[in-house]
């Protein structure tokens, strides 16, 4: 089955700083999903990427999928305390219908 | 508003007891999922169901059971056979089609005393 590795595991930044979270797959990514989770709550869908080289943005968050479709990055510009939480990437699992494999998550803390 | 409702949000149980976590959705989604989340380990799939009266084991099904008698409901029972049940449990559903975007409930935190 597909394995996703996220880095870093945790990240502490000062408000206003930019940051990047990476998600690397052991296999070709056919669909890559980014989610955000507040501690003790459910996951909120952020973006989905499918095509090599694809890039999507929502407010100050930009996600990219590399041309080889094995790595995705999530970039936050001018971070705010509201960006704090756990960011998880999830990938379509070609070996099984209708389920995602998730990375272990990146814990983001933004200091005011 | 449409969404997924999990209950209870917090649950305490003694060792040897079975406990059932509720998951209800009004999104009219066919597929529903149960995930377990432990610190630093991301989400692991317990069971999933693509249609009423049918479900499949995920990666960590041992010690758990589910039912899918109605499209809206997908309860998860944590049995006494589950050796390490203390965790955060997340229910999700997804719409039909090629996109596998998951819609999540708020989660249930189970603590075994």
Residues in CB range of B50: below 8 A, 6 or more apart: A97, A98, B30, B31, B56
Q: In the structure, what pLDDT confidence band is assigned to residue A97 with cuts at 50, 70 and 90? A: low
Residues in CB range of B79: below 8 A, 6 or more apart: B18, B63, B64, B65
Per-residue tokens: B91 = 């229910």
Q: What is the DSSP string of chain A?
A: ---EEEE-SEEEEETT--EEEEEEESS--S-EEEEEE-TTS-EEEEEEE-STT-EEEETTEEEEE-TTSSEEEEEESS--GGG-EEEEEEEE-TTSTT-EEE---EEEEEE-
Nearest-Cα residue of chain B relative to residue A36: B104
Q: Do A40 and B31 touch (CB under 8 A)?
A: no
What is the reported pLDDT for B97? 73
What is the reported pLDDT for B64? 97
CA geometry: angle at B106 spanning B15 and B30, to 5°? Answer: 100
> A71-108 burial string, b = 16+ CB within 10 Å, else e?
bbbbbbeebeeebbbbbbbbbbbeebebbbbbbbbbbb
| Neighboring chain A residues of B48 at a CB cutoff of 8 Å | 98-99
Q: Which residue among B45, B92, B99 places its CB closest to the CB of A48?
A: B99
Distance, CA of B46 to CA of A49 (rounded, Å): 25
Alpha carbon B90 to its chain centroid, in Å, reads: 5
Q: Of A54, A91, A4, whose CA–CA distance to B100 is shortest?
A: A91
| Numbered residues of chain B with Cβ closer than 8 Å to any chain A Cβ | 4, 6, 31, 33, 35, 40-45, 48, 50, 58-59, 88, 90, 92, 94, 99-107, 109
Q: In the structure, what pLDDT confidence band is assigned to residue A1 with cuts at 50, 70 and 90? A: low
What is the reported pLDDT for A98? 58
Q: Which residue among A1, A40, A92 places its CB closest to the CB of B100?
A: A92
> B68-104 burial string, b = 16+ CB within 10 Å, else e?
beebbebbbebeeebeebebbbbbbbbeeeeebbbbb
Q: Is the pLDDT of residue B1 over 90?
A: no
Nearest-Cα residue of chain B relative to residue A4: B42
- Please write the tens of the pLDDT for every residue from A30-85: 889 999 999 889 999 999 999 899 999 988 999 999 989 899 999 999 999 999 99
- Please write the tens of the pLDDT for every residue from B70-109: 999 999 999 988 889 999 999 999 987 766 788 999 999 9
- Please write the tens of the pLDDT for every residue from B29-86: 999 999 999 987 789 999 999 999 999 999 899 999 999 999 999 999 999 888 899 9
**C-alpha R_g of chain A:** 13
Residue B106, exposed/middle/buried by CB under 10 A (0-12, 13-18, 19+)? middle
Distance from CA of B81 to the nearest CA of A (A): 25
What is the reported pLDDT for B68? 97
Distance, CA of B110 to CA of A9 (rounded, Å): 24
């Amino acid at each position: 089955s597909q394995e996703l590795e996220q880095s870093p595991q945790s990240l502490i930044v000062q408000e206003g700083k930019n940051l990047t979270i990476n998600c690397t797959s052991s296999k070709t990514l056919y669909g890559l999903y980014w989610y955000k989770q507040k501690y003790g709550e459910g996951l909120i869908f952020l973006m989905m990427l499918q095509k090599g080289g694809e890039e999507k943005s929502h407010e100050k968050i930009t996600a990219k999928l590399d041309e080889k479709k094995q790595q995705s990055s999530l970039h936050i510009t001018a971070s705010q305390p509201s960006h704090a939480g756990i960011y998880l990437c999830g990938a379509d699992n070609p070996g099984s219908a209708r389920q995602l494999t998730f990375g272990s998550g990146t814990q983001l803390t933004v200091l005011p | 508003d449409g969404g997924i409702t999990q209950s209870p949000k917090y649950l305490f149980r003694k060792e040897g007891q079975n406990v059932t976590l509720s998951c209800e959705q009004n999104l009219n989604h066919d597929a529903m999922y149960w995930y377990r989340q432990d610190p630093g380990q991301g989400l692991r799939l317990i069971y999933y169901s693509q249609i009423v009266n049918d479900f499949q084991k995920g990666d960590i099904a041992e010690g758990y059971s589910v039912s899918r008698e109605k499209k809206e409901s997908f309860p998860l029972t944590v049995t006494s056979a589950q050796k390490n049940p203390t965790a955060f449990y997340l229910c999700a559903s997804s719409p039909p089609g090629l996109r596998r975007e998951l819609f999540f409930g708020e989660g249930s935190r189970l603590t075994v005393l």
